[in-house]
Amino acid sequence: MAVSAVPSVSPTEREAAYQRNFWLFLADSIFFTVAMSLIGTTTVIPDFIRRLTDSEVLIGLSSSMFEIGWMLPQLFMARYLVKVASKKWWFAGPNIVVRFAIPAFAVLIFLLGKDQPGLLLAAFLLCYGIAAVGDGLVGVPWVDLVGSSLDDKRRARLFGFMTAISGLIMLGVAPLMGLILGESGPGFPNNYGILFGLAGVLFLGSIVPPLLLKDLPGGKPVETVPSFREYLPQLGRALQEDKPFRAMVITRMLSSLFMMASPFYIGYATVELGLSSEEAIPALVAMQTIGTISGALVYAWMGARHNLLYIKLALGLAALLPISALLAGIVGPWTLYIGYFASGLALSNLFASYLNWIIQHASPEQRPIYTGLFNTVAAVTLLTAPLIGGTLAETLGYRTVFGVALVMVLGALFVVARYIHDPRPAPAEAGPEAAAAR
């Protein structure tokens, strides 16, 4: 297929755009990350859903739902983006619409109240699902923008600083969450309505920074969108011929299966270890946040230099979370706090480091396809994780889920150590032409 020319950008213009975009990406990411932390997928959301249903499968699905919805559309979006030179409005445009879903659900919480748990659950699944799928529509263009409109050094700093700053904000917010969810708070479901409302305001704030981004040229766009007859073989060849990429996809799948246990740690703490929600959620969020800040600062330094080493260290530390949960039933709940600290330290930038590896490994022309394929395969795996985790929790108990999660993360560590190597990044100042020559 014929391709269009990519406009050239002078080194001076490129450097100025990198500097401008860094702060805009950082502002957008902090708004989004703090908002997601306020309705934490491993703390607040599963605890909220547990008050509406006793189905462990639904509780597990609620924790993974956003990531599933975010990833599933990406393979189909990637097919269209190969013909687009400028990705900015493919990110900023849909972003305007989908950011209203969470504040809308906050309003519905107050309107429906505690006497209609079925409608409240249905409203959550609808609004949260819209937010997740909408974020999936902008996921591939966001990765492409981060890859083409930031250099390697600033990209690593972006991932690290956004997590560290968001973590510091959440350290200050955690006591407030405790008051809102505590006995002196407004009570269920208004207490959760306040948290979703605060998150909704931040989601709306995240609309503005992308509108101001300077979109730098990336890969050369093709003239026409490839048909599925052309597109699907491209995906198969990427997995068949690119062994490191295939290994990274397997690593991501194992990591997704490791996450099957995420919604059950808080249930384990409140149901079996005897901690109350107002005691467990703020404390576990605080411990995870402290670990997240520490891990983010480490990644801000390591990301551009030793991204693959960070992935190995993060997977090793992630194993401490299921280990701590298994020990908590024997020696007491204090080990779970250590596990949450380790999980924050490990997982704060693990998935960002995966994406950073993809950005460095793939050429600009390959990047949309590689990103879409990588995330969509992971989403299919993640879709099964709540079913597996919920079934195991209901039939064999929480400890079995934690044991299986431990096996998954150790498997991911083995694949990374055995089959994945560092990509050779192109010099940032050389622009997309040098990257494409890799």
Take residue 88 and report the two structure tokens written for it: 């900015």
- Residue 436: pLDDT band (50, 70, 90) is very low
Question: Would you state the pLDDT for residue 185?
Answer: 82
Q: Is residue 78 part of a domain?
A: yes
pLDDT at residue 421, as a whole number: 84
Q: Tell me the pLDDT band of 219, cut-offs 50, 70 and 90.
A: low
Which residues form the domain of 208?
Answer: 11-217+225-436
Q: What percent of the chain has pLDDT over 90?
A: 24
Beta pairing partners, 3: 222
Query: What CATH number does the domain containing 388 carry?
Result: 1.20.1250.20
Asked, for residue 5, whether it belongs to a domain, the answer is no
Exposed/middle/buried for residue 246 (C-beta within 10 Å: 0-12, 13-18, 19+): middle
For residues 142 and 324, give the distance between their C-alpha atoms in angstroms, rounded to a whole number: 35
Looking at the domain assignment, is residue 1 inside a domain?
A: no
Report yes or no on 286 lying in a domain.
yes
What does the pLDDT look like over 356-366, one tens digit per residue? Answer: 898 888 887 77
Q: Return the pLDDT at 21.
A: 93
Closest residue by Cα to residue 69 from 102, 44, 30: 102
192 or 147, which is more confident: 192
Residue 259 lies in a domain: yes
Q: 220: how many CB neighbours lie within 10 A of its CB?
A: 18
pLDDT at 233: 72
pLDDT higher than threshold 60 for residue 197: yes
| For the ranges 114-123, 269-278, 290-299, the one whose mean pLDDT is highest | 114-123
Angle, CA 61 vertex, CA 57 and CA 62 arms, to 5°: 120
Give the range with max mean pLDDT: 81-85, 146-150, 265-269, 270-274. Answer: 146-150
Res 430 pLDDT > 50: no
Contact in structure between 44 and 195 (CB atoms under 8 Å): yes
The answer to whether residue 4 sits within a structural domain is: no
The per-residue pLDDT for range 389-415, each reduced to its tens digit, is: 888 888 888 889 999 999 999 999 999
| CB-count exposure of residue 172 (10 Å: 0-12, 13-18, 19+) | exposed
Are the beta carbons of 358 and 144 closer than 8 angstroms?
no
Stretch 138-144: mean pLDDT = 82
What was the pLDDT predicted at 199?
95
**pLDDT tens digits along 332-343:** 778 888 888 888
From 285, 252, 18, select the one nearest 158 (Cα to Cα): 18
With cut-offs at 50, 70 and 90, classify the pLDDT of residue 426: very low
What is the distance in angstroms between the CA of the first residue and the CA of the last residue of the chain?
A: 21
- Residues with Cβ within 8 Å of 341's Cβ and at least 6 positions away in sequence, in order, are 287, 288, 290, 291
Report yes or no on 239 lying in a domain: yes
For the whole model, what pTM was predicted? 0.68
In a domain, 3, yes or no: no
Report the pLDDT averaged over residues 197-213: 94
Question: Average pLDDT of the chain?
Answer: 82
pLDDT for 424 beyond 70: no
pLDDT at 5: 41
b/e 193-210 (16+ beta carbons within 10 angstroms → b): bbbbbbbbebbbbbbebb
* pLDDT surpasses 60 at 416: yes
- Span of 202-211, 316-325, 412-421, 424-433 with lowest mean pLDDT: 424-433
Looking at the 3D structure of the chain, how many domains does it have?
A: 1
Place 277 in a pLDDT band, splitting at 50, 70 and 90. low
